[in-house]
Amino acid sequence: KKAAFVIGSGILFLAAFGNSLTWHLQKFWGASGDFWQNQWSKLHSRFEGHDQALFYLGTMLVPTVVFWGTNALLLFVDIMAKPSFITKYRIQQDKNNPVDPAKLRHALKTVLFNHMCISGPMVVAAYHLMSYRGQPCGPELPTFHWALLELTGFVIIEEIMFYYSHRLFHQPSLYKTFHKQHHEWTAPIGIVCIYAHPLEHVISNMLPVAIGPVILGSHISTTCLWYCLALVSTTVSHCGYHLPLLPSPEFHDFHHLRFNQCYGVLGILDRLHGTDSKFRQTKQYERHTLLTSLTPLTESIPDEPKKGL
The Cα–Cα gap between 219 and 142 comes to 7
Task: Please say if the pLDDT value at position 271 is more than 60.
Answer: yes
The per-residue pLDDT for range 111-133, each reduced to its tens digit, is: 999 999 999 999 999 999 999 88
For all residues of the chain together, what is the average pLDDT? 90
How confident is the model at residue 133, as a pLDDT?
Answer: 82
Confidence of residue 215 (pLDDT cuts 50, 70, 90): very high
Instruction: Give mean pLDDT, residues 209-214.
Output: 96
User: Is 308 within a domain?
Assistant: no
Confidence of residue 30 (pLDDT cuts 50, 70, 90): low
User: Is 290 within a domain?
Assistant: no
User: Is 287 within a domain?
Assistant: no
How confident is the model at residue 2, as a pLDDT?
Answer: 62
Task: Please say if the pLDDT value at position 5 is more than 90.
Answer: no
Confidence of residue 304 (pLDDT cuts 50, 70, 90): confident
- The residue that leads in pLDDT, 16 or 249, is 249
- The residue that leads in pLDDT, 153 or 35, is 153
> What is the value of pTM for the model shown?
0.89
User: Is 199 within a domain?
Assistant: yes
User: Is 302 within a domain?
Assistant: no
How confident is the model at residue 250, as a pLDDT?
Answer: 96
The Cα–Cα gap between 38 and 47 comes to 15
- The residue that leads in pLDDT, 133 or 291, is 291
Residues above pLDDT 90, as percent of the chain? 78
How confident is the model at residue 126, as a pLDDT?
Answer: 95
Task: Please say if the pLDDT value at position 24 is more than 70.
Answer: no
User: Is 255 within a domain?
Assistant: no
Which of 47-51, 151-155, 176-180 is predicted with the least confidence, judged by mean pLDDT? Answer: 47-51
How confident is the model at residue 15, as a pLDDT?
Answer: 63
Instruction: Give mean pLDDT, residues 88-110.
Output: 94
Which residues, in sequence order, are CB contacts of 187 under 8 Å at separation 6+? 91, 92, 95, 96, 240, 253, 256, 257
User: Is 24 within a domain?
Assistant: no
The Cα–Cα gap between 241 and 250 comes to 9
Domains of the chain: total: 1
The per-residue pLDDT for range 47-85, each reduced to its tens digit, is: 988 999 999 999 999 999 999 999 999 999 999 988 988
Task: Please say if the pLDDT value at position 6 is more than 70.
Answer: no
How confident is the model at residue 99, as a pLDDT?
Answer: 94
Which of 62-66, 156-160, 301-305 is predicted with the least confidence, judged by mean pLDDT? Answer: 301-305
Residues above pLDDT 70, as percent of the chain? 88
- The residue that leads in pLDDT, 145 or 16, is 145
Which residues, in sequence order, are CB contacts of 169 under 8 Å at separation 6+? 175, 178, 179, 200, 203, 204
User: Is 121 within a domain?
Assistant: yes
- Domain with 120, as residue range(s), is 50-139+149-242
What is the signed CA dihedral for 295, 231, 218, 24, rounded to 10 degrees? 10
